[in-house]
Amino acid sequence: MKMSDINHSSTQQNQFVTAVITHRVRDGRAEGYEKWIKGISAAARAFPGHMGVSLLRPQPGASLDYVIVLQFEAQERLSAWLNSDVRRDWIERVQPLIQEQESVQILSGLEA
């Protein structure tokens, strides 16, 4: 079977999904961002279907991009988190700490 033969139909909605979220943190705001990420991570863990979160920190001298890798057991569970009032409140709190709108990429199955 070739990779191109894999069916990306709605039946895959039962597979785990990963959200890759990138934030470009403002210069001098990393400490506040680190506190924020602890809070939002704890909130995400309380949502049904949460399977884990990893944080990739920027390397010294590189860009100030933080990458959050968030896994849920199914697309509907991830969507519930991404569209929740709880997350919306946390995103409002991070606005003074980041330079631009967050980037969110959703990966499922083998893509992840």
User: Has residue 9 got a pLDDT over 80?
Assistant: no
Q: The pTM is what?
A: 0.80
Per-residue 3-state assignment (H helix, E strand, C coil) for the chain: CCHHHCCCCHHHHHCCEEEEEEEEECCCCHHHHHHHHHHHHHHHHCCCCEEEEEEECCCCCCCCEEEEEEEECCHHHHHHHHCCHHHHHHHHHHHHHECCCCEEEEEEHHHC
Mean pLDDT of all residues in the chain? Answer: 86
pLDDT tens for each residue of 15-32:
799 999 999 999 899 999
